[in-house]
A and B are shown apart, each in its own frame.
Chain A
Amino acid sequence: MLRMARSLPEEVLEHVFSFIHSDKDRNAISMVCKSWYEIERWCRRRIFVGNCYAVNPSMVIRRFPEVRSVELKGKPHFADFNLVPDGWGGYVYPWIAAMANAYPWLEEISLKRMVVTDETLELIAKSFKNFKVLVLSSCEGFSTDGLAAIAANCRNLRQLDLRESEVDDPSGHWLSHFPDSFTSLVSLNISCLGSEVNFSALEHLVGRCPNLRTLRLNRAVPLDRLANILRRAPQLVELGAGTYSAELRPDVFSSIAGAFSGCKELKSLSGFWDVVPGYLPAIYPICSSLTSLNLSYATIQSPDLVKLVSQCQSLQRLWVLDYIEDIGLEALAAFCKDLQELRVFPSEPFALEPNVSLTEQGLVSVSEGCLKLHSVLYFCRQMTNDALVTIARNCPKMTRFRLCIIEPRTPDYITLQPLDDGFGAIVEHCKDLRRLSLSGLLTDRVFEYIGTHAKKLEMLSVAFAGDSDLGLHHVLYGCENLRKLEIRDCPFGDKALLANAAKLETMRSLWMSSCSVSFGACKLLGQKMPRLNIEVIDERGPPDSRPESCPVEKLYIYRTLAGPRFDMPGFVWTMDEDSALRFS
C-alpha cells in the first residue's frame, strides 16, 4: 500500500477519486491511509450534514477546504407535523456566515427544515460569485425580499427550488429582480408561494431561459396563463401547473390542449389545484410519456382519475388523494406496470367517517399488479393482517413502506387482532426495507419482529404502539442499521433507553415525545454519554421543577461532535455532565 501511494502521484489519485461520489465511499477512501485521507479531503466537493448540530461549520471547513456543494438538514422529521415547537432551532445563518469566508466558490446550497432568514439569503446572494443552486425544502423564516436578493445578484443561478417552504408576505415582484440579461435558469419551483407572482415577469423569465427544464408554478397562476407559459417553454420536462380551473370554454380548452401537445418532453406533472375535470382531456396527449404524476392537491374524483391513469402506461411515480379509491387503484394496477412509487393522501383526514371507498384492497391490488413497486405511503382507515401479508409477499423488493391508518390503535377490522403479524410479514419478506412507518393496533410483538428481521432498516416511525420497554429494546437491540428513530405516544420509558445507550451513538437521532422517559434518565444519559446531545423539550417549564421521575414531554437525542448547542430557546435543555450538578 505504501509503495502504491508513492508510485501513484497525487494528481492521479485525485483523478480517480473524482469518480467517487457517494459519501460512504468517500469516507471509506479517506480511511485507507493518511495520504489518501489528505488527498481525499482536498478534493471532496460535496458534503452532506444530516443533522446541522452534529458538527459545527468550522470543523467541516477545516477538514474539507474546497467544497462546492453543501446539503444540511435541521429540525427533526416530526417538525413537519408540528411536534417541534417553534423556536427550537435549526438556524442556518452561522453556517452561511462561516462558508461565506471559507468557500467563495460555493455553488450549491440545499437545506431542509432549517430556519433561513432574509439576511441569510442576502449573504448568500453577495458571497458566492458562482452560485448556481438553492434548494429550500420545508424551510421557513424568510420572505420574498430575500428571494429578490437572490434573483438580483446570482448571475449564474440554475436552480431555485422552494419546495414546501413557508415564505412570509409573499409579493410577486421579486421575480422582476432577475435582470433581463439573466438566462441561465434550469429549474424553478415556487409552488409553495401563497400570493401572486407578477405574470408578465414570469412569462418573460420563462421565455428568455432556453435551458428551463423544471417549472413548478403556484396556485395563484390561473389556467389561462398556463398556455402562454407553456408555449414559451416547450422544452419543459417537469411542469407544476397552477390552478387548473376555469369556466369551460372551447377556445380556452384548445389553447391549453395545444400548448400541452407542444411540450414533447414532458415527463412529470404536478400542481393541479382546484381541477375542473372538463379540462383534463387537454393533457391526455402527453399522458403516455409521463413518468411522474403528483395529483395530491387535485380534487379529482375517481372516474376522472381512472380515465387519466389508464393512459399513463409509463408511470413510475403517482401521488394522489384517496379520491382515487380502490377502483382507481385497480386501474392503476392494470395499466401502469412500471409503477415504483405510490403515495395516497387523505382528502378528509379529520372526518369521523370515511368519505371515500378506499380500503386495504386498493393497496393489495397495486401490489399484485405493479411488480416494481418499492415505495409506498398509504393513508387509509382500515387494514387487515392478511392484506399486509399479501402485500409483503407480492413486493419483496419494498424499500419504503409507510402505512398510516388514520385512527390510532385500529386493529385488524376483521379479526380485531393487532396488526403485529401483518407488519411482521412486511419486515420478514422485504429484506431490503430501509424505511418503515407503523400504525394501527400494535403490541410489543411487532417490535420483536422488526428487531429480528429488519436488518437493513434505517428509519422507523412509531406512534401509539407497543406495551412496554421491551418493544423499544427489540428495536434498539436488533436493528443494526437504524439511523433515525422517531416515536410518539408510546409506553416506552427508561429501561430500554438506558440499556441501549451506546446504540444511540451509532444513530443519527432519536425522537421521543409523549412517552415515559423520566427526567432522571435523561440526566443520567447526559452524564454518561458525552458524545450525545440529550435535549429535553418541555414547555411546562424547567424539568427540575418536577420530580425526577416525571416523564419529559419531548426528548431529542442525537450524536454530535460539536457538543451542546448554544442557540436553544427557553423550553429546551441539554443534559450534559454539568447538568446533573446544575439540576440538583
Chain B
Amino acid sequence: MSPALLGVEEEGQSNVSLAASSTSIDCISRNGCGLKERNYLGLSDCSSVDSSAVPSLSEENKNNLNLKATELRLGLPGSQSPEREADVSLLSTGKLDEKPLFPMLPLKDGICSSLQKHVISGNKRGFSDTMDGFSEVKGSLYSEKNWLFHSAGTESDSPQSVGQGTFPGSSGMNAMQLSRPSGAQSHMMKEVPQKVLQDRCHGANGTNLNQAGTSNNSSSAPAAKAQVVGWPPIKSFRKNTLASSSKNNDEVDGKPSSGALFVKVSMDGAPYLRKVDLRTYSTYQELSCALEKMFSCFTIGQCGSHGVPGKEKLSESKLRDLLNGSEYVLTYEDKDRDWMLVGDVPWEMFIDTCKRLKIMKSSDAIGLGMCFCI
C-alpha cells in the first residue's frame, strides 16, 4: 500500500460492516497480530525491499504503514464523491479544478480507474437515497484509509498535471515528466490529512453527495448509465449482439440504445491494435483525446519497454499537434467498407456507421477527404 497515499485518509463515512469486522480490523491495526501470517519467506515486512532507491520519506511512511495501512474503510457507493471533491481542493490550488473531477466515463479502453468507477457508482440516485440513511451512522471507531484514493494520490503528487489528460488514463510521458515533484508533494500530503480528517468529520454526507451527484450529471452527456470498464462482466461478443439487437428494437421503443460499441483502432507502424468503446465518448474531441493518449507511446518509437524509460518524452501537446497537424490523420471504415476521414458527419451518425478506426499517415490519406456525406 502506498504510504504517500495514506495522506488521503478520511473518516466519518458510513460503514456497513459494523462490530464484527471492526474487532478484526482493530486487531490488525496493532501491528498485524490478527493476520495469522505464515511468513514463509519473511516477506511480510515490506521494508526489506532494497530501499536505496526509495526516497527517505517512504521509510517513515512505511512505519506508518503498519498502523494505518490496514485501517481500511469500506468504500460505499455514493459516499466517496464528497471526500474526493473536498480532498482535491485541499491538496492543490485551482489547477486540479480544470481536470474532469468526475469523469463519468472511463477515459480509455481497458483502463480501470477505481476512483472513476467509484464515483460513477455513487451517482446512482436510487441507491444513494438508501445510503443517506447510513451516513448518519458515524460508527467510525478508527480512521481508515480509503484505498480508492490511490489514484488521487498519484494525481495529487503532480498538481501541475496538464489539463484533461492526466487522470489515471494518462500516458507514460506525463507521469514521467511529473515524477520529480512527487517527493516534495508527498511531503505536503502528509501534512494535509489531519485537516482533511477534521473537515470530513463535519458533514460530508448525503447533501454533499447529492450535490456531487447533480453536478456530475450536468457535466456528463448521455442518459444511459455511465459504464465501468469491464462491468458487468459480459463478453464483448454478447455486448455487441445486445447492442445491435437493441438498435433494432429502438425504432419500436424509442428508448436510447445502450451497451458498448467496441471498434478496433489501428495505427500505421504500431505493433498491435487497440479497441475503444465509441459509446464512452460524445464528441469527436473526446475520442481524439483518448486516442492521442492511447497511441502516444507509439509515435517516435518511445515507449518504456522493459522498464527502460525512453529518452525523449513526447509531450501531449506535441502529439496533439502531430495528430491534428500534418503527420497523422484519423480515418474510419464505414458500413460500406469505405475509408473516410473522421469528423465529416455528425457524431451520432458516425458511431452508427463506424466499423473500425485507423490512424494513418497524412500522406497515405490523400484522397480520403473527398468523401461526401449525406
Which residues of A come within 8 Å of B, CB atoms?
78, 80-87, 138, 164, 166, 192, 219, 273-274, 296-297, 299, 345-353, 379, 404, 406-411, 416-418, 420, 437, 441, 443-445, 461, 463, 467-470, 473, 477, 488-489, 491, 493-496, 498-502, 513-516, 518, 520-521, 523-525, 528, 539-551, 553-554, 568-571, 573, 579-580, 582-584
Contacts and interface: CB of A to CB of B under 8 A. Distances in A.
A524 B46 contact: yes
A153 to B, nearest CB: 27
Given A164-B237, A470-B25, A489-B117, A553 B112 contact: yes
A339 B241 CA distance: 26
B28 interface: yes
B53 A583 contact: yes
A450 to B, nearest CB: 15
A498 B111 contact: no
B172 A499 contact: no
B258 A351 contact: yes
A549 B2 contact: yes
Given A83-B230, A443-B74, A569 B16 contact: no
A85 B175 CA distance: 19
Nearest to B133: A416
B245 A299 contact: yes
A469 B68 CA distance: 12
Contacts of A82: 109-110, 229-230, 236, 262, 275, 277
By secondary structure, the A interface counts as loop
B208 interface: no
Given A499-B37, A550-B150, A583-B307, A524 B17 contact: no
Contacts of A491: 72, 75, 147-148
B172 A524 contact: no
Contact of B32 (A349, A495, A516): A495
Contacts of A420: 17
B311 interface: no
Contacts of B20: 445
Interface stretch (B94-102, B191-199, B298-306): B298-306
Nearest to B309: A542
B67 interface: no
A499 B5 CA distance: 22
Sorted nearest first, the 3 A-B pairs with minimum C-beta distance are A541-B172, A87-B272, A570-B303
Interface in B270-304: 271-275, 277, 297, 303-304
Given A351-B225, A550-B150, A493 B16 contact: no
A402 B24 CA distance: 28
A81 B21 contact: no
A404 B16 contact: no
B1 A493 contact: yes
Nearest to B224: A350
Contacts of A350: 224-225, 227, 258-260
Contacts of B21: 443-445, 467
B312 interface: no
Contacts of A544: 307, 309
Nearest to B1: A493
Given A467-B72, A514-B112, A584-B50, A502 B234 contact: no
Given A345-B238, A516-B147, A547 B112 contact: no
Interface string B152-180: 01100100000000001111111110010
B246 interface: yes
Contacts of A409: 75-77, 121
Contacts of A515: 147
For chain B, which range describes its interface: under 10, 10 to 19, 20 to 34, or 35 or more residues? 35 or more
Given A349-B259, A498-B43, A407 B2 contact: no
Contacts of B175: 540-541, 545-546
B16 A443 contact: yes
Given A85-B274, A540-B168, A494 B1 contact: yes
Contacts of A164: 235, 237
B114 A514 contact: yes
6 contacts: A489-B112, A516-B150, A521-B49, A524-B46, A570-B297, A582-B306
A566 to B, nearest CB: 9
Contact of A407 (B72, B108, B124): B124
Given A444-B24, A489-B112, A494-B1, A520 B44 contact: no
Given A350-B258, A493-B1, A573-B306, 19 more contacts: A297-B241, A353-B126, A410-B127, A411-B16, A443-B74, A461-B233, A488-B230, A491-B75, A491-B147, A514-B114, A518-B1, A520-B46, A524-B48, A542-B172, A542-B304, A542-B308, A544-B309, A569-B271, A584-B50
Given A82-B110, A297-B241, A547-B2, A495 B35 contact: yes
A438 B239 CA distance: 21
B5 A468 contact: no
B359 interface: no
A573 B39 CA distance: 26
A443 B18 CA distance: 10
A345 B238 CA distance: 9
Given A489-B114, A550-B4, A86 B258 contact: no
A446 to B, nearest CB: 10
Among A192, A404, A410, A540: residue with most chain B CB under 10 A: A540
B172 A540 contact: yes
Contacts of B225: 350-352
Contacts of A348: 242, 246, 258-259
Nearest to A583: B307
A408 B37 contact: no
Contacts of A568: 305-306
B372 interface: no
Interface stretch (B54-62, B322-330, B346-354): B54-62
Given A348-B258, A516-B2, A573-B307, A549 B110 contact: no
A349 B124 CA distance: 14
Contact of A580 (B43, B50, B174): B50
Contacts of B2: 516, 518, 547, 549-551
